[in-house]
Structure 1
C-alpha cells in the first residue's frame, strides 16, 4: 500500500479520506521543512501533500524517486516545479474551488469596512476618541464594484456583491459569461467607474504590477483597492503614494510581494501603520470550512489517481477521467510524446500475448499518458520491458 506524507498541518479531513480508502501508512508534519529535511521526509513516499510553503523543486523530486503524485492543498501551485513533475511522470493536483466562498466573504467584508471607514474609527476609539461623524462613510448599496479577473472567486464576489445592492462590472483577458447583472468592461473604464476595485488574477509576468502608478491614477478619486490574489500584482510604493495623496481612500491587502516565512517574522511594507489600510496575513481562504473542504477535495483526487490512474483536474498533466477497471490489471504508462508511441506500447502487449480490454490516451506538452486495462496479469519480465523502453518516462501497475 502507498506511503503518504502530508506537510504543513493539512486538515484532518484529508486523513479521513485516505483512511476510508484503506491507506494506513500516513506520516504528517505540522510545518514546512527545509530542503534537506524535506528530501529525507519524502524519500520513500508515494504520495506527497503540501500547502503553500513547501518548495517541491527539482532537487526534491530527484531525491524522491518513488513519488507518484503530489497534492497541493491550496489553490496555488507556484511552489511546485511543474515542469520537472511532468517530465518525471508525476501529476500535480490542487483545490481550485474549495476556498472561493471564504475569499469572497473576506473581500466583501473589507469593502464594507473601508467604505464605512471602520479601521480608522476602531483605532480612534481605542485611542480614546469618540468621533461619530459620518464624513467619508458610505453604504455599499448603489456603489460600483469593479472585479479584475472574473474566474471562480471573482464571479462569486460579483454574485454576492449584487445581493448587497452593488452594481457589478468586471474585466478579464478571456471572454467570460457574466453572472446576474454583471457586465464586462475594458480596464480603463472599469477603473474610472468603480468605487471598489478588487483583484483576482493569477501570478506571473503578465500580471506583475498591473496596478502601478499609471493604472492607480486611472481609478476614480476616493476609490478603494483590494488585493486578495497575488502579491506581485500591485506596485506597493505606487499604492502608498496614491494613499498619501488621497487619490485612493483605502486599501486592503491579503498578499504581498515578499511575505514572512514564519509566525514571528514581521511583515516589512510601506503600508504598515496606515489607518485606512487593512493588512491580513494571506488568510483569504483560511477558514475552518474551506480547509476541511480543501482537505477532502485534494485527498479524493489523490486517492482516485493511486487506485485508478484518474488524472482529471491535474494542473500539469494529461487529463484522463475515471473509468471503471475492466481487466485483471491496469497499467499506467507515461511516455515521451513522440509519433508512434502508442503503437510501440501496444506492440509490446501483443508480443506478450496480453489482450487489451480498455485503453485511454491523452497527451500534454512533452508527455503522453496511457491507461490500459489488460485481460491477464503482466509478467515481471513484461513490466521490466515496459519500464526500460526508450519512450517510457514512468510505468506503474495497479
Structure 2
C-alpha cells in the first residue's frame, strides 16, 4: 500500500542547507516533492528565522544553529534532518516541546572516520608530516630515527561506541594491541582490553584516539592534569568534538616532547565558511596534522547520510513512523487498509489519551488502530480511523486539552 499525504506534495516546502548531498535532494524529488531548495552554506539565526516561516522540512549539517527563537518562528515545521552525527546545534528541548521530530545519521560516516584514524596513526608514528614538509622545502631527510611500525603498539580508545569499536577492529587487523575506556560497561570486540580509568589508559597507550560526545563530562577531559600521565612519546588524535581537548595544554606537552605528535580535526572555534581565517595554538608545530572537521567527509559517507536521513524524513512525513527521532517518541507501524491516519502530539500529562478516545467515541468515530508512546515531555498518538469521518476526527482532536500538534497524514 502506497498512501499519499493529505497535503499536496507540491506545497510541502523543503529547505536543505550546508550543501547536503544531492542524493537527498533527488530522493525527495523522485517521491514527488517539487519544492526543494538547496543552499551551499549555513544561515545565521536572523536569516533562518526569515526563511523558516513556511518550511515543512529542514535539512542541516553541523554549522546551522537551530535555536528556540528559530523554532518559535517555524509555524509549519514538521521535522528537522541533521545530515551528520551530532545534534548539539539543535535545541532539542525546544523542538520536543513543539512536537518537531529531529532525525540524524549516527552510523553513516563511521567507516570514514575509523579509516582516517588508522591512516593518521601510520602517518604520525612514521613522522611523515615532518618528512613531507622537508621534501617540499627541498631538504632530503632519509632517516629512520623516531619512525616506528604500528604492529605491536598499543592503541588506547577513549569512547568505545560505534566509531571506537570500528577503530578497534581495524587496529587489531594491523597487529596492534587495543585498550579502551568508556564510562559505560561495553563488551570488548576481539582481544580489546577495557581499562578501569582514563589515567590507566593514557599511561599504557602509544596512540590515544578520542571518540566521545560533547557533554559537560567530556569538556576539557584531556587537560594538563591528565596529559602528564601520557606515555612519553605518545600520540593523540581527536576526531570527536572540539571542546574535549585543552589545546593550549596540548601544545605545551608537544613542545616539551612528552607527546611526539597529534592529529586534530575538531576545534573549540571553527570558521563558518570555507576560506575564512582559522587559528589554533597547534599551528606550526612539527608532526602535528590539523584538518578542517573532515573526519566523516567522504563521498560515500555523504551519500549514506543523505540516504539515511531522507528515508527517516519520508517515513515520518508519509507514514508517521518516528523511528530514529531524538524528540518525538519512537513509533514504527505499518499502514492500515481503508483508513485515514491522524497524528496527535500532546504534552505528557495524565488523561489525554482518555480524552481522545472519549471525544471520538462520543461522535461515533471508529478507531481501527491506535498507537501511543511517550517521553518525559510529550506523547505521540497515531490513530487509524474511518475514512468518512477523518476530517471531523481531526477537528475534534485539535480541541483536546494539552494538544501540541495534529496532522491528517493520509
2:298 is the alignment partner of 1:287: yes
SS at 2:139's partner residue? Answer: coil
Which ranges in structure 1 are unaligned for 5 or more consecutive residues? none
Partner of 2:147 in structure 1? 137
* Offset at residue 385 of structure 1 (A): 2.7
2:234 is the alignment partner of 1:234: no
Moved more, 171-180 or 138-147: 171-180
Q: Paired residue for 2:283, among 263, 272, 283?
A: 272
Q: Paired residue for 1:150, among 150, 160, 163?
A: 160
Distance 1:393 1:307 in 2: 19
Partner of 1:81 in structure 2? 91
* Offset at residue 297 of structure 1 (A): 0.4
Distance 2:273 2:40 in 1: 13
Using the size of structure 2 for normalisation, the TM-score is 0.95
Partner of 2:6 in structure 1? none
SS at 1:206's partner residue? Answer: coil
Distance 1:385 1:374 in 2: 13
Q: Paired residue for 1:159, among 164, 169, 174?
A: 169
1:186-201 aligned at under 5 Å gives the runs 186=196, 187-201=198-212
Partner of 2:106 in structure 1? 96
Partner of 1:118 in structure 2? 128
Distance 1:59 1:70 in 2: 15
Moved more, 309-318 or 289-298: 309-318
Which ranges in structure 2 are unaligned for 5 or more consecutive residues? 1-8
Query: What do you get for the CA RMSD once the two structures are aligned?
Result: 1.2
Q: Paired residue for 1:214, among 214, 219, 225?
A: 225
SS at 2:401's partner residue? Answer: coil
Distance 1:253 1:137 in 2: 20
1:233-252 aligned at under 5 Å gives the runs 233-252=244-263
Partner of 2:376 in structure 1? 365
Partner of 2:3 in structure 1? none
Per-residue CA shift, 1:278-333, capped at 9, x if unaligned? Answer: 00000001111100110010000000000011111112221111323345111111
SS at 1:383's partner residue? Answer: helix
Partner of 1:72 in structure 2? 82
Change (3 A) 1:183 1:378: farther
Change (3 A) 1:120 1:257: same
The number of residues matched between the two structures is 398
Per-residue CA shift, 1:248-307, capped at 9, x if unaligned? Answer: 110000000111122222222111111211000000011111001100100000000000
Partner of 1:5 in structure 2? 15
* Offset at residue 350 of structure 1 (A): 0.8
Moved more, 25-34 or 296-305: 25-34
Partner of 1:384 in structure 2? 395
State whether residues 312 and 322 of structure 1, in contact with CA within 8 Å, keep that contact through their aligned partners in structure 2: no
Q: Paired residue for 1:181, among 188, 191, 194?
A: 191
* Offset at residue 380 of structure 1 (A): 4.1
1:308-387 aligned at under 5 Å gives the runs 308-378=319-389, 380-387=391-398
State whether residues 9 and 28 of structure 1, in contact with CA within 8 Å, keep that contact through their aligned partners in structure 2: yes
Using the size of structure 1 for normalisation, the TM-score is 0.97
State whether residues 92 and 327 of structure 2, in contact with CA within 8 Å, keep that contact through their aligned partners in structure 1: yes
* Offset at residue 381 of structure 1 (A): 4.5
* Offset at residue 343 of structure 1 (A): 0.9
Distance 1:352 1:308 in 2: 25
